[in-house]
Structure 1
């Protein structure tokens, strides 16, 4: 398995793809991250064409078990961020 791309590598690749400097690419990445974070935190979702959909899902209150002690306890309801991968991306990876 390949090592994950770092932020520095992503900014460099984005700058090359945009034919811009790294400062502009970094600002674009930061703006995109801020928009996605704000929208998902507000309960909405963001669809990135050919990549997937990022959304927030609420999990109900439930019983969980501590694996170290085996003790069961009630965990409060919470929210979790989910990503559904687009078919186009799946096909390009598998095809």
Structure 2
């Protein structure tokens, strides 16, 4: 079962173009592309500028909070790339 269905596209090149570029799913793949490394640097700069968090010693009996990178390609209405967006987010636990 597929998460999506493409209908009405008769040109195979157009169909391929819709799925040729996707957001990275592994950190290793991000490291290979400068555009994503630049967005990661921008995110770190923003975190530092805004004093979002600071590193400190972990108190006894407390657990660390994990983080993960989220990568997203924002597109314009015509399908062209608008910008590459990277966010460092805290992992949520209930």
Higher helix share: 1
Question: Greater RCO between the two (CA within 8 Å, min separation 6)?
Answer: 2
Normalised TM-score (structure 1): 0.27
Normalised TM-score (structure 2): 0.27
